[in-house]
Each structure stands twice: as structure tokens, then as C-alpha cells.
Amino acid sequence: MGRIHTHRHGKSHSIRPVTSGSSWVSQNSAEVKELVEKYAKEDLSPSQIGIKLRDQHAIPLVKAITKKTLMQILQEKKLKPELPEDLDNIIKKAAGLQKHLKTNKADNRNVRSLELIEAKVHRLSVYYKRTGQLPKNWKYKSVVAQLE
């Protein structure tokens, strides 16, 4: 899969863990759900929760054990973040770049980078509005992103 704004090709040959229950996993479905809830209350993002479960508890894939995705578990417990994680990360990146451009006014190359990042925000927001993960009236404002 290629990248939109670069000439690089991106990651290839990434393999997901086995989908059936692994023999070395000692936790059952309820214990995994408790761990997900505990880490979500510690303000970890969904990807950080997955990494922590993989590295500290040897749980390769939550869905194989619980029959639900991590986001479905968070939604049941009403701990789902208000913005999707990838959109939130891109907004934070844009805010950091805007802060950089305020102090470095001659940095024209990063003005273009900011335009590309904001285009990604708008593309993602259209997708998330269409799928119902964002409200229809949600709008990205670069001034609001600077304040967060």
C-alpha cells in the first residue's frame, strides 16, 4: 500500500497474530475485559492498551479471546474516546506544526506539510461523519486545535 503524499511504498508483509485462541493465554474473556477497562480508565489510547496487553499479559489479539474488538469493549463500558485515535493524533500533529510555524515564519517547507496534514484531517473527518463515528456538524478548526 502506498502513501498519499510521499514517494515511499510503506509497510509490507505485516502479519496479524493467529485468530484462534492461543494455547499460552491464561486469561479468560472476563479477565481480558477487566484489563481493557482498567487501562482505559488510566487514559491509555486503544493502541496503547493493545500494546500493553500484548507485551505484559501475552495476549496477542483481544478479539480472539473475547469475540469482540477492543473498541466494542470500550463502547460497552462507555469509555470510548470522543475522537477516533488516528484523527486525534493527526490533529495533535497539526497543532504542534502550527506552534512551530509561529516561531519559525520562514519555514516554507513546513507550511506545505501543514496543508497536507490538514487535508488528511478533512478527509478522515468526512469518512468518520459518513460512518457515524463523528457528529455530522463536527468541524476541524485550526485555531481550536492550537489551544488543545
- Please state, in angstroms and as integers, the Cα–Cα distance from residue 55 to each residue in 30, 93, 142, following that order: 19, 27, 36
Contact 90, 117 (CB under 8 A): yes
Contact 36, 68 (CB under 8 A): no
Find the mean pLDDT for residues 117-121.
93
* 11/141 Cα distance (integer angstroms): 31
The region of weakest confidence among 22-36, 90-104, 112-126 is 22-36
- Would residue 10 be called left, alpha or beta, if left means φ above 0 and alpha means ψ between -120 and 50 degrees? left
Using CB atoms within 10 Å of the CB of residue 125, give its burial: 0 to 12 exposed, 13 to 18 middle, 19+ buried.
buried
Q: Band the pLDDT of 147: cuts 50, 70, 90.
A: very low
146 pLDDT more than 90: no
Q: Rounded to two decimals, what is the model's pTM?
A: 0.78
* Owner of C-alpha cell 481480558: 32
**3-class secondary-structure state, position 45:** coil
| Widest CA span in the chain | 58
**What pLDDT score does 1 carry?**
45
Query: What are residue 125's phi and psi, to 5 degrees?
Result: -65, -35
3 pLDDT more than 60: yes
Q: Band the pLDDT of 145: cuts 50, 70, 90.
A: low
Q: Band the pLDDT of 60: cuts 50, 70, 90.
A: confident
Closest-CA residue to 138 (of 128, 148, 146): 128
27 pLDDT more than 90: no
**What pLDDT score does 141 carry?**
83
**What pLDDT score does 104 carry?**
92
Contact 62, 32 (CB under 8 A): yes
